[in-house]
Chains A and B, each alone.
Chain A
Amino acid sequence: MDSPIDVADCLQRWKQGDESAAEELIRHLHPVISRIVRTHLPRRDHEDDVIQEILMKTFSRLHQYKGDAPMSHWVSRLALTTCLDRLRAQKIRPEVRWTDLTPEESTEFDAAWLGSTTPDATEAIHARDLVDKLLSTLSPSDRSLILLVDLEGRSLEEISQSTGWGISKIKMRLFRVRAQLRKMIQNLEQRK
């Protein structure tokens, strides 16, 4: 989505020291980066700091951007790598037990089982916290992979392009991640 602004012109102006060009670029890139950070990092992570970190990286590496792909693609890859690096620094939970869930998360677990009505904002947050807990047992790359497929609906080819992994590797990982998630959900169900 590079159409609303002329990225090449902004880059040129920024190189010449025009600060309004940086402002335009930040406004243009922020929604893209914000969506990636919100998807791939747990809800309570310092979102604005991470977005700023990605923007700083973007501006300091602008000379590496060749302009052969839309800038949002280039920045998306940078954002995803930054999120993965951040996740790598966090500990992976060995498992999620029923006692680890807050009462609200337990309610959400049951609500999802029943496939109940559209949640309000608070319920969505509790559901997200539960999703984050389940995801925290996966490795950073597995976590991102399952979200790219199940949440963003990306095709295997798209994931291959953005991660550099082969299709068969992606399929194998996906199979393993699904098995792991099933097992965790089964465990939660049994230990109620």
Chain B
Amino acid sequence: MNMENSPQEDQKWQSLLERSKPTFAGDAELPFGFLTSTLARLKAEKRDRDLLERIGLRALFASIAILITVGGVSVGVQLQNRFDFDPAVQSLIQADDVPIS
């Protein structure tokens, strides 16, 4: 940055930044124990994610199974009820020999 024409305050700011520059540099090497703890956290998070995924999949399959069962039962009940007439209607059908389709 060209500081020749900038106010004194700008120069002061730049000088402060310059003096503190070493503290802004990143670590070239990993701090002690960092890799181990990061890998452990990563493993734990992955395990949790996998577990959640499995639970989610199981819940999905369970809901589908319940839906199929409930659907099957209701269709069955409906088919059963189809021929389940009132006794008066039943006798009329028998008397007139009405074909039931």
Contacts and interface: CB of A to CB of B under 8 A. Distances in A.
Nearest to A118: B19
Given A31-B28, A39-B24, A181 B13 contact: yes
B45 to A, nearest CB: 6
Nearest to A34: B26
A124 B19 contact: yes
B82 interface: no
A26 B38 contact: yes
B37 A26 contact: no
A121 B24 CA distance: 12
Contact of B23 (A27, A48, A115, A128): A128
B27 A127 contact: no
A56 B17 contact: no
Contacts of A119: 19
Contacts of A125: 20, 23
Contacts, number: 105
A38 B23 CA distance: 8
Interface of A: 19, 22-23, 26-27, 30-39, 43, 48, 51-52, 55-56, 59-60, 108-109, 111-113, 115, 119, 121, 123-125, 127-128, 130-131, 134, 149-151, 178, 181-182, 185-186
Interface residues of B, number: 33
Contacts of A22: 39, 42
A182 B22 contact: no
A26 B39 contact: yes
A113 B17 contact: no
List of 9 A-B pairs having minimum Cβ-Cβ separation, nearest first: A35-B26, A34-B26, A128-B20, A127-B20, A127-B19, A182-B9, A128-B23, A112-B15, A185-B9
Contact of A31 (B27, B38, B45, B49): B27
Contacts of A121: 22
Contacts of A131: 16-17, 20
Q: Is the interface of A mostly helix, strand, loop or mixed?
A: helix
B25 interface: yes
B10 interface: yes
Given A108-B16, A182-B7, 10 more contacts: A26-B39, A34-B27, A39-B24, A51-B34, A59-B45, A124-B23, A127-B19, A185-B12, A185-B13, A186-B9
Given A22-B42, A108-B16, A111-B19, A151 B27 contact: no
25 contacts: A19-B39, A23-B39, A26-B39, A31-B26, A32-B26, A36-B26, A48-B31, A52-B34, A52-B37, A55-B38, A55-B42, A60-B49, A112-B19, A115-B15, A121-B22, A124-B19, A124-B20, A124-B23, A127-B16, A127-B23, A131-B16, A134-B16, A151-B24, A178-B10, A181-B9
